[in-house]
Amino acid sequence: MNQKTISAIPAGKGFGGLSGTALKLIALVSMLLDHIAYFFDFTGVVPVWFGIAGRLAAPLFMFCLAEGFAHTRNRRRYFLRIYAIAAAMGGVQFLMKYGGIGVRGDGFYPQNGIMTLFALLLIVWQGMDWIKARRWVRGLLAVLLPLAWPFVCPMIARVLPARLGSAWGFALYSVLPTWGMIGDTSMPVLVMGLLMYPLRGHCVAQALSMAAWAVFYHFGVVYTMASAMPGFALSQMFTVYIEWMDAFAAPLMLCYNGRRGRGMKGLFYAFYPGHVAALYALSCLVYHLTVGR
């Protein structure tokens, strides 16, 4: 495809006919498969392709999040919806981690933090817009504080260690969430989100930069580290270290038609906490009936 063809594409649109709602529905199904693998890994019967299919979820949701944030009429309300879900689920995670409340028999409890990452990204993205509008002070604070927070937290934790009954510990997991080093809130996923918003309106650039970062970090860097481990085999990059397959979300991004679609925002806001709670409860029951007895 030549440069003339690419430049003729309307801003924010790709080459296909998928609306924002269609992309979110694909991401939702992908996330469901991924979380089935996550919650029921102990059974040993969930196919590896559930996790592979799940790699589409995070990049597609972040792509749609950037579009939604740019077009919403009320950014504050948009942020507060996501923040409320993140804070509530973070509070539950705190009670599980430090109080052992509702923890599965093998010590497992859900640590999904994608909504926390979304809330933090929205603050950073707003800061980017403030900087673009030359509102330097608030813009720099909104960008830098969320990015610096995980490095500040350990210093505070030395004085105020998190524990059950600790207001600081509870706040850290709920009202003062932070991105972490592993999982949904890890630095590599955060970087992917940071690329999405500045490139919004340039669908090809968004898709290619996301895919390039996923392959560079999750295949290149991870392979370098994993290959030094005893017993490593290249085949594990396709069965164990599969995060690089986020890159396969790029073709779907290129199918975006620039339209919102039906919206269905109620479904998406309710589905995340609802399906996590349902799958976790079911996994506890399955564990009790099989392994735990």
Q: How far is CA 287 from CA 44, 98, 202, 283, in A?
A: 12, 21, 47, 6
Residue corresponding to tokens 């290129």: 254
Of 251, 250, 248, 233, the C-alpha closest to 52 is: 248
Q: Which two tokens stand for residue 241?
A: 């270290």
Q: How far is CA 110 from CA 35, 164, 251, in A?
A: 10, 18, 30
pLDDT for res 291: 84
Largest Cα–Cα distance of the chain, in whole Å?
66
Position 27 scores a pLDDT of: 96
Written as six digits, the tokens of 101 are 């409340």
State the 10-residue block means of pLDDT for the chain, 293 residues long: 36 72 96 96 95 94 93 93 93 91 94 86 96 96 90 78 80 82 75 90 92 95 95 95 95 92 84 95 95 72
Residue pair 102/96 in contact (Cβ under 8 Å)? The answer is: yes
Separation of CA 186 from chain center: 9
State pTM to two decimals: 0.89
258 with 12: CB under 8 angstroms?
A: yes
State the Cα–Cα distance between residues 213 and 211, nearest whole angstrom. Answer: 5
Cβ(179)–Cβ(204) below 8 Å: no
Q: Which residues contact residue 79 at a Cβ distance below 8 angstroms, ignoring those fewer than 6 apart?
A: 119, 122, 123, 126
Helix axes 114-132, 75-99, angle to 10 degrees: 140
Q: Measured between alpha carbons, how far is 26 from 252 in angstroms, rounded to an integer?
A: 9
Q: What is the pLDDT of residue 181?
A: 62
